[in-house]
Amino acid sequence: MALPFWLFILASVIKSAVVMGVLLTAVAYTVWLERKVVGHMQNRWGPTRVGPFGLLQPAADGLKFIFKEDLTPPHVYKPLFIAAPMIALIFALTSISVIPFGNSVVIRGYRIPLQITDVNTGLLLILGVTSIGVYGVALAGWSSNNKYSLLGGLRASAQMVSYEISLGLSLVGVLIMSGSFSLREIVKAQGGHFWGFIPHWNIFGGQFIGFFCYLMAAYAETNRIPFDLPEAETELVAGYHTEYSAMKFAMFFMAEYTNMITVACLATLMFFGGWNGPLFGPRILQAVLPVFWFGLKIFGFLFLYIWVRGTLPRFRYDQLMAFGWKFLLPLALANVIATAIAVAW
């Protein structure tokens, strides 16, 4: 049964509040997880002082950012200097609004999708919104009136232009196979199994090369090692956010980790079957399990992000550009052509 308008609005508000709360908590504890995992990889402890196992460290960091003195250098272009971190964070948070994280649930005869809003072109909306988010980084570099910040902003812009093409092409193979831009329809197309036991996920259905191209482009899009050239501290002090402090710096930090979670969500939906997984037990458990499988796959991707950061060195900038244009783009294009031929055949 369709929801009445007032109930639809109420459900949307409740879902928005829950998703934002869970997302911001996940961002905080992704930082904690990264510090702990990289610490153990480098034979040190990571956070241990604040709370058991350092679990209250994210709260301590948040309080520190709130009470820290907010310095604005006198030579910056103030309107854009203030707006830049807001742009980066707002567009990072907006992209999560069309991510479906489970099946619909039925409450008193009303079917409520586990998604803030369901649009037919959800994938295009995510790609568009995340692309606009780079304006925050570019404007931060320019408005700081600092040569290191400006170089970081220019690097971010060039990196986004170079790898956004490969990112888009890496997803075209999935779109050809599913025949829809709707994220929910793409997940439904991955239901079932090959030969009765292999999950019918796109990564097992001929899109491994597409997944590889997506993963490499996603690392570059989110400015993470080994593609973190816009904030290479050995070259640019801190890159585009050199002049930022307190909550303005925290906004950039939150935007980066929010983008990591969005990229992990999209990879799960496009290549790993979304919330599809084994269902067992009573009815209420079967309603919760899809959300659990979805969260578990996202955790796997975030762990991979952290693992790569703790093990791989940074690229040189010429290597970054050459890898994007000379290797990743032709490979993604070849994957699209091969997928189109296979589907037509």
235-268 tens-digit pLDDT? 777 778 888 888 888 888 888 889 889 999 999 9
The region that residue 43 occupies, defined by phi over 0 for left and psi between -120 and 50 for alpha, beta otherwise, is left
Residue 168 lies in a domain: yes
Residue 112 lies in a domain: yes
On average, the pLDDT of the chain sits at: 85
What does the alpha-carbon distance between residue 4 and residue 134 come to, in Å, rounded to a whole number? 38
Report how far apart, in Å, the C-alpha atoms of 244 and of each of 140, 239, 256, 259 are.
Answer: 9, 10, 15, 20
Q: Give me 272's structure tokens.
A: 């790993």
The verdict on whether omega for the bond into residue 226 sits within 30 degrees of 0, i.e. cis, is yes
Number of domains the chain is built from? 1
Report how far apart, in Å, the C-alpha atoms of 120 and of each of 2, 22, 50, 186 are.
Answer: 18, 25, 45, 11
88-122 tens-digit pLDDT? 888 888 888 888 887 777 777 777 777 787 788 87
Residue 79 lies in a domain: yes
174-226 tens-digit pLDDT? 888 888 888 888 888 887 777 777 888 888 888 899 999 999 998 888 888 78
34 has pLDDT over 70: yes
Q: What are phi and psi of 76, to 5 degrees?
A: -80, 160
314-338 tens-digit pLDDT? 888 888 888 889 999 999 999 999 9
271-291 tens-digit pLDDT? 988 888 777 767 777 778 888
Residue 7 lies in a domain: no
pTM exceeding the 0.85 threshold for the entire prediction:
yes
Residue 257 lies in a domain: yes
What does the alpha-carbon distance between residue 160 and residue 180 come to, in Å, rounded to a whole number? 25
Residue 42 lies in a domain: no
What does the alpha-carbon distance between residue 73 and residue 54 come to, in Å, rounded to a whole number? 34
Residue 146 lies in a domain: yes
Q: What is the pLDDT of residue 133?
A: 81
Residue 50 lies in a domain: no
Q: Give me 302's structure tokens.
A: 């975030």
Domain span at 268: 70-344
Quote the percentage of the chain above a pLDDT of 90. Answer: 10
Residues 39-59, mean pLDDT to the nearest whole number: 87
